[in-house]
Structure 1
Amino acid sequence: MSWIWFLLIGLVIGLAAGMVISRFTLKSYLKKNPPINEQMLKQIGASMGRNLSQKQINQMMSQMKKNY
């Protein structure tokens, strides 16, 4: 095999490994630092003219955690 084949195989393996590592890193980051928190949900509800109960906020947070 020529050196070009080794280069192409190395690039494909590196690309696959990079995608797996970045996906794992992003998932763990989002689990530790969710993009929205309870305070933001309260403000969103208030801006819509609703006063959300703690139970509703907990339900929305659990739904978001389930999706991650």
Structure 2
Amino acid sequence: MALWLAIVLMVVTLLVGGVLGFFLARRWFKKYLEKNPPVNELMIREMMRQMGRTPSEKQVRQILASMNQYK
């Protein structure tokens, strides 16, 4: 009887730990993305404007392609 109870407790503990770990990881990742959003076209255009350049569409696409290549 004690062996059966120990096995059930281990399985329940693993399930609860897995569910809890999933939600904690999900919460951490959402906070991370809020602080560090992925780079998009608008951000690239704004960075180039701050450097004193007006980027063409081709330049923006090239920068995005080169950044996606290293992901």
TM-score, length-scaled by structure 1: 0.57
Letter in 2 for 1:17: L
Aligned residues: 47
Deviation at 1:10, TM superposition (A): 0.2
Bigger CA radius of gyration? 2
The alpha-carbon deviation at position 2 of structure 1 amounts to 1.8
Q: Distance in 1 between matches of 2:18 and 2:39?
A: 31
Cα RMSD of the aligned pairs, angstroms, is 2.4
In structure 2, stretches of 5+ residues that fail to align are 49-54, 61-71
CA distance 1:33–1:49, change in 2 (3 Å) = closer
Runs of 4+ in 1 over 4 A off after TM superposition: none
Q: Could you say which structure has the greater relative contact order, defined with CA pairs below 8 angstroms and 6 or more residues apart?
A: 1
